[in-house]
Chains A and B, each alone.
Chain A
Amino acid sequence: MTTRRLFDLAYGRAGDKGDISNISVIARSPEAYQEIKAKLTAERVKAHLGGLVRGEVIRYELDNIEALNFVCHDALDGGGTRSLRIDSLGKSLAGALLYMPWDRQE
């Protein structure tokens, strides 16, 4: 059996401002939204992203578009050209979050 991942319930996009990355998690259905709203906590997101996000993660809810927005501080290795990462703006960070295994608690 293949592992169900957050990507199966949602899609999203990462954006950068300074050293902050925001990652949207947009539910694929109303049921999926209820599930991620109940279970995808800021703590779980921070634990999953590990060393990619060194600072605080804040979660915002948008019931109107069935989406969550995670604002991740200290997430871009200093941001902009300071970063030593090859993806210095964190374009791939939405994918990193969507890779989260969904059915087992991490």
Chain B
Amino acid sequence: MTYRIGSAQGFYGDDVTKALPMIEGGHVDVVCFEALSELTMAILQKDRLANPTRGYTWDIRVIAERILSAAFAHKIPLITNGGGLNPTAAAELVREIAAKKGLNGIRIAAITGDDLLPRLDEIKRAGETFSNLDTGEPLDKAANQAFLTANVYLGASPIVEALRGGADIIIAGRIADPCLYLGALIVHYDWAWDDWDRLAAGIVCGHLLECTGQVVGGNSLALIDEIDARDLPRLGYPIAEVEADGSFILTKTPNTPGVVSVESVKEQLLYEVHDPRRYLTPDVTANFTTLRLEPAGSSRVRVSGVTGGPRPEKLKVNLNRFEGYKRELIFTLGYPKAWQKVDQLQRMLEEAWAGLSIERVGYSFLGMDSLFDGLASLPEDPLEVIVRVVFTAADAETLKTAVRRAMANGLACPAGMSVSGLTVGAEPSPVVGLWSALVSREHIQPQVSLLEG
């Protein structure tokens, strides 16, 4: 029988309550919540450093308070990687909230084993270099060792174990996005771990679901004329109706705004994809070039013919590294002689910042070249130029001094210059750099712990 997967989160801060109409309307058999972008881990690390019982996404609380009762009543499992850096603490929180709601007998699974930060030295001693995938530089050779997080992308196997153990809600950390969805399919259809075509179909299904609004009309150039912008906050989130052979219908929550079309599915299919013949995941290498898309009714698209091959030998690890601070100021300059004033502003700042250890400075003209750089042709004698200045330094204090010095020129400035007050009042923001590497599977053992409510 058709198995229906709902997707109610695509990033930290998404509107997870979009799960409610799916569950209460009886439209789904499971709901997944994908919460982690490359940068989210660094944000969660900041939380965990401030408070060791944090480090998970706050959305977990919303899921527990607003969705869990309905899901438990309807026997719909919830699966999320929003446990981030602290799935165990998130599971404890969920247990407390479930107890207050009287959800007796609820089973809460926490999945760990992705956090390699405390194990880096041990794994390096076992021969792993964590060499940078872009530059080839071994981790030990990096001059800056201020690593904040190190998480390996886990596959679907701990999800499968937790569901088979009867979990009603599964809280994981860095499970690869589409593997959240694949895990549920493997359990329901009992797919084998080397059934590459079906596993790849599950990955394509998860990949199309994992960005929620982006496949139902959000961020869509294909549907720009079809979507009423007032509906954007109300878009019904996507649902896949999956068959045993891995083919599926991609649709959305019934009776909600939004559109799923062949065109919008194509847009999402290639989102954040590199080689479409080799879409690497921990469980399978998926091939996107054999599949077929066909319209199958209003806001229904049939996806079939996905093929796949063996999973990659190694797993991907993302490390986030602290690399200093950045700050921006936005200045306004107008007619007459706006370009001459821009030039004066640049020279003024260079002088004011002399002797400060500012690392990088970037100038752009908002509304003129800030998005498209050299594609834009700048007007000869503009009425207005909005200058965005971004600058970085190793420490926050240098940036604060730089802002003070720039502002000290408030009356000794190019004629008619103004500065956006909101940018003056802002604080330096940490710069976090990504370091991607590979690790052998032998070092990675995911753990599943079940709490009873």
Binding site for B on A (CB under 8 A): 11-13, 15-20, 22, 24, 26, 48-52, 60-65, 67, 69, 71, 78-82, 84-87, 91-92, 94-96, 98-99
| Bound complex: CA A20 to CA B371 (Å) | 16
Dominant secondary structure of chain B at its interface with chain A = mixed
Which residues 285-299 of B have a CB within 8 angstroms of A? Answer: 288-293
Binding site for A on B (CB under 8 A): 38-39, 134, 219-222, 263, 266-277, 288-293, 323, 326, 360, 362, 364, 366, 370-375, 388, 390, 392, 429-434, 436
Residue of A nearest to B436 (CB): A18
Dominant secondary structure of chain A at its interface with chain B = mixed
Note all chain A residues with C-beta closer than 8 A to B290.
Answer: 64
- Are B430 and A65 neighbours in the complex by a CB distance under 8 Å? no
- Are B373 and A84 neighbours in the complex by a CB distance under 8 Å? no
Residue of A nearest to B292 (CB): A64
Known: A80-B432, A96-B375. A11 touches B267 (CB 8 A): yes
Known: A13-B221, A51-B373, A82-B323. A65 touches B293 (CB 8 A): yes
11 sampled A-B residue pairs with Cβ under 8 A:
A11-B221, A12-B267, A13-B271, A15-B273, A22-B273, A52-B372, A63-B289, A64-B291, A79-B434, A86-B388, A96-B375
Partner of B267, one of A18, A26, A81: A26
With a 10 A CB-CB cut-off, give which of B276, B429, B432 has the most chain A CB atoms. Answer: B276
Distance to closest chain B CB from A15 (angstroms) = 3
| Bound complex: CA A61 to CA B271 (Å) | 15
- Are B371 and A92 neighbours in the complex by a CB distance under 8 Å? yes
Note all chain A residues with C-beta closer than 8 A to B366.
Answer: 86
Partner of A87, one of B360, B370, B390: B370
Partner of B429, one of A26, A51, A81: A81
- Are A81 and B431 neighbours in the complex by a CB distance under 8 Å? yes
List 5 additional contacts besides A15-B273, A71-B275; criterion CB under 8 Å.
A13-B271, A22-B270, A52-B372, A62-B289, A69-B273
- Are B273 and A80 neighbours in the complex by a CB distance under 8 Å? no
Residue of B nearest to A94 (CB): B221
Known: A24-B270, A26-B263. A13 touches B219 (CB 8 A): yes
Known: A81-B326, A81-B431. A12 touches B221 (CB 8 A): yes
Known: A16-B272, A22-B274, A26-B222. A86 touches B434 (CB 8 A): no
| Bound complex: CA A98 to CA B272 (Å) | 18
Note all chain B residues with C-beta closer than 8 A to A99.
Answer: 372, 375
- Are A85 and B362 neighbours in the complex by a CB distance under 8 Å? yes
- Are A65 and B269 neighbours in the complex by a CB distance under 8 Å? yes
